[in-house]
Amino acid sequence: MEVGPGKPMGELLRRYWHPFAAATELEDTATKPVRLLGEDLTLYKDLSGNFGLIDRHCPHRRADLSYGFVEECGLRCNYHGWLFDHNGDCTQQPYEDTIDAGGKLRKQVKVKAYKVAAHAGLLWAYMGPDPVPLVPNYEPFTWENGFAQIVFSDIPCNWFQCQENSIDPVHFEWMHDNWSLRLKGDEGPYAAKHLEVDFSEFEHGFTYHRVREGADKENPLWTIGRVCLWPYALFTGGHFEWRVPVDDENTLSVGWFFNRVPKEREPYLQDRVPYWVSPIKDEKTGRWISSHIINQDIIGWVGQGTFAERSQENLGLSDRGIAMIRKRFFDDMDALENNSNSDPKSVIRDERENQRIDLPIVGKENFIEGFSEKELNDASPDAAARRVSSRNFPFHFGQPEEVRRAYEEAMGFKMEDRPESDMKN
């Protein structure tokens, strides 16, 4: 599933907006080298606050523009001072402008430039042809009174095997429930078994549905399910996990996590969405970190090799969803090759629809109506589940202290301490 320009999948993915950075990253540094869909680029925020995403190399003599410096409008190469704006136009060539003010060179020179949009604390890039579609305004981006955080991990394998994990219900039972139990040193009992799974397609992706021992088909995990969001994310309700293709051999895992504050803390307005980078390898042992849910998933993905060797697979009854998403991608690649004006699945152009893209969400009311501190602390199983998910950050290893503190301040309670021994194994 190669993503470079001209490759069928590369062309297909260039029809979507890609969340690739946090808006707050550019508070610390005005430029950032970025690799996206196999292209080397430079992200910058100029002194007027415009974001730009332009070629990594200067069209003069190829200096690295990520070492350039920003001006009122645009990014200036640090080598000979040529200035580029976010459209890719060269607006100054200091020496040439001085001695040959009417010269043609400046007009002839253009640098590759892609559109950047800031939305939900993320920066999104569009690298495809005009007309540019809308940045998806998924329902959680419209929720109020919550604390959001963005988490990145660099994953050394192809993005598609990461995304196949987004339509794989049975792995929860083994990779997360049972393996976590064994990692803690317990030998059982193992978690409730999957008794039935199902998959279906909708406008913005696929859903998967499950019945586990002790539950029935009234359970929202069967009636509503979870979302494999198009083109390359998992959406669980409280968070998104995008598997953004850096190139064919590397993926940027981008997580966006939302926690509603207790009702007593409302109104709460988050003034900045923090971001952090979660390591995936234990430097002491050289082994992958396995203590957190997404770290465990990552072990699944990188364990398949840089590219999972599909010819060596033996798909089972639980893998029907994987076959479905593969087929959808192949069909959409074919459709685009036959008609380059066709829009693939889930490209959004309707402003009205994009006021809020509703998605299937288990427990949606918790996000919309919120819950009181009492509801968080009473003896019911629901409250217990809420406590676990709100007093820990179980998804990624290494949440920094300042993010944890900001979260505690928003929520009005302390997170539970995780013993260091429990953090890595």
Candidates 69, 79, 143, 307; binder of ligand FES (CB under 6 A) is 79
Q: Does 70 bind ligand FES (CB under 6 A)?
A: no
Stretch that binds ligand FES, among 78-86, 251-259, 265-273, 385-393 (CB under 6 A): 78-86
Q: Which partner, ligand FES, Fe ion, none, binds residue 12 by CB below 5 to 8 Å per kind?
A: none
**Minimum Å distance from CB 165 to Fe ion?**
6
**Minimum Å distance from CB 22 to Fe ion?**
23
**Minimum Å distance from CB 299 to ligand FES?**
42
Binding to ligand FES (CB under 6 A) within 168-207 occurs at none
Does residue 91 contact residue 83 with C-beta atoms inside 8 Å?
Answer: yes
**Minimum Å distance from CB 48 to ligand FES?**
21
Distance CA(121)–CA(1), nearest Å, equals: 29
- Per-residue interface string for the shown chain with ligand FES, residues 80-119, x marking contact by CB under 6 A: xxx-------------------------------------
Torsion angle of the four alpha carbons 394, 399, 404, 407, in this order, in degrees rounded to the nearest 10: -60
**Minimum Å distance from CB 108 to ligand FES?**
15
Sequence-distant (6+) residues with CB within 8 A of 239 are: 255, 256, 257, 258, 395
Candidates 30, 63, 299, 324; binder of ligand FES (CB under 6 A) is 63
Please enumerate, as own/partner, the contacts of 78-83 that have beta carbons within 8 Å and a separation of 24 or more: 82/58, 82/109
Residue closest to 41 by CA, chosen among 108, 89, 112: 112
Residue closest to 228 by CA, chosen among 218, 220, 238, 240: 240
Distance CA(414)–CA(324), nearest Å, equals: 43
> Looking at residue 141, what DSSP letter applies?
G
> Which of 82, 147 has the CB closer to ligand FES?
82
Dihedral sign, Cα of residue 260, residue 264, residue 269, residue 270 = negative
Candidates 22, 43, 70, 77; binder of ligand FES (CB under 6 A) is 77
Q: Which partner, ligand FES, Fe ion, none, binds residue 403 by CB below 5 to 8 Å per kind?
A: none
Sheet with 146-155: strands ordered across: 194-202, 205-212, 226-229, 233-235, 239-247, 250-260, 146-155, 275-277
Binding to Fe ion (CB under 5 A) within 282-301 occurs at 297
> Looking at residue 357, what DSSP letter applies?
B
**Minimum Å distance from CB 63 to ligand FES?**
4
Q: Which partner, ligand FES, Fe ion, none, binds residue 58 by CB below 5 to 8 Å per kind?
A: ligand FES
Candidates 60, 119, 364, 391; binder of ligand FES (CB under 6 A) is 60
Q: Which residues of 294-306 are buried (b: 16+ CB within 10 A; e: fewer)?
A: bbbbbbbbbebee
Query: Residues in the site for Fe ion, rule: CB under 5 A?
Result: 297
Catalog residues that contact ligand FES under the rule CB under 6 A.
Answer: 58, 60-61, 63, 77, 79-82
